[in-house]
Structures are given as structure tokens and as C-alpha cells.
Amino acid sequence: MEEVIRIYTDGAASGNPGPGGYGIVMEYKSMRKEMSKGFRYTTNNRMELLSVIDALKSLKRIDLGVVIITDSKYVADAVEKKWVFGWEKKNFAGKKNPDLWKEFLILNRKYKIRIQWVRGHNGHPQNERCDELAVAASRGVLEVDDYYEKIGSKS
């Protein structure tokens, strides 16, 4: 039986675009890790996708199966319905967040990833915790989302 790490993610933005953040809860066996980060000017969808990317980048082992649990239909549908692979073939023409999708695809090819969608704000404990982390991060020390502030917000 394959060992699996479960990664719960959520993103938030106030104003959309505006200050934003993401929250991550990672569970593997009896271990649990939480991460969050805030940005001064971004979008909810960028935070949803960046949470997945940063969680994957933090993994120390590539031999684990990865289950990502998200309340983002944007992320879940793009991957599970394989839309992102079509976008890639067209070099993301007309699509938002190409910088993040390209980074995701590199990581996606490195791991065995499944994505599960859960309804947000519906009492799911890890999803609720991710939301708390994301909102707190959006109100804390904020980093600059260089791509979005310089390029992405104009598209």
C-alpha cells in the first residue's frame, strides 16, 4: 500500500485583488505541519494555487502519494478535469496565473498527485484551519507577489 501525505490548502484575498494569504495543513502518519504566508496585493485564485505549490515544494520525499484537499474549484477542476494540460499546449494564452500554473505542472510531474474538492466553510476541520491561517496571513507581515504586481494584474 502506497504511503500518502494529505495536504489541505486554502487561499484568501480581501478585495480580490487586495491583501491576501494562504494556509496549509499537512498530515503524514502522526505528523502535522501548518504553514501560511501573506501578500500585499494578490487574488484569491493566486493564493489557492500558490498554497498547493508551496506545500509541494516543502515536501522532502518524492516517493509518497500526495492527496491535496482544497475548496478551490479553480484548482481542483483545472487539474482533475485536465484543463491545465490543454492550457499548457496553448502556452496559457488568455489564461490567468500562467507563472503559477507552469510551476505547478513541474511539481505535478514529480509527484503522484490526486486532488479532492471539499465545500469551503462547511465545518471540515482542516479546511477551516487553513482558512483561519490564510486570513491571519493576509493581515500579517505581507510579502510582494512580484509577478502579479508587475505583470499579472494588467492582464
Choosing from 99, 103, 131, 145, which is the catalytic residue? Answer: 131
Choosing from 121, 140, 143, 146, which is the catalytic residue? Answer: 121
54 is annotated as an active-site residue:
no
Q: How many C-beta neighbours within 10 Å does residue 53 have?
A: 18
11 is annotated as an active-site residue:
yes
124 is annotated as an active-site residue:
no
Residue 4's DSSP bridge partners are 65
Choosing from 48, 99, 128, 145, which is the catalytic residue? Answer: 48
- What amino acid is encoded at 66 in this protein? V
Choosing from 20, 38, 71, 99, which is the catalytic residue? Answer: 71
Alpha-carbon span 127 to 79, nearest angstrom: 19
Alpha-carbon span 24 to 71, nearest angstrom: 12
Choosing from 10, 99, 103, 128, which is the catalytic residue? Answer: 10
Strand-strand pairing, 112-117 and 31-42: unpaired
Active site residue ranges: 10-11, 48, 71, 121, 131
